Structure 1
Amino acid sequence: MTSDAHTPDYRWLLDRDERPWYPTVRLFRQSETRDYVSVLDRVRTELRKLVAAR
């Protein structure tokens, strides 16, 4: 059995950042392969929002 490394498991849903079965988890995806900078920028932005809210 082969799998495409760029196709996530169906349980992770393709069109959403949140997961219904993991309400406290947020998924940050690459928009392009190996595009880690944009992912880390989005994570940084969300972390700053969380810190500011406290």
Structure 2
Amino acid sequence: MGEKRGRKKKTFARNLLKRLELHKEGDLRFIENQIVPFANNLAERDIRMACTGDYTGS
């Protein structure tokens, strides 16, 4: 009794490290190419406004 079955749960830090390893080239592209923005906030705002624009009004 006391033993858990299945795989051990992966930690947040391990999952983050694995993701960074898999997407290293894309995540660091803004360092090499000055045209690529550091954040994608403008695109996200455009999408959000398109989605929420339908719900405005009383």
Do they fold alike, i.e. is TM over 0.5?
no
TM-score, length-normalised on structure 1? 0.34
Q: Which has the higher strand share?
A: 1
Q: Which has the higher helix share?
A: 2
Q: Give the structure with higher Rg (CA).
A: 2
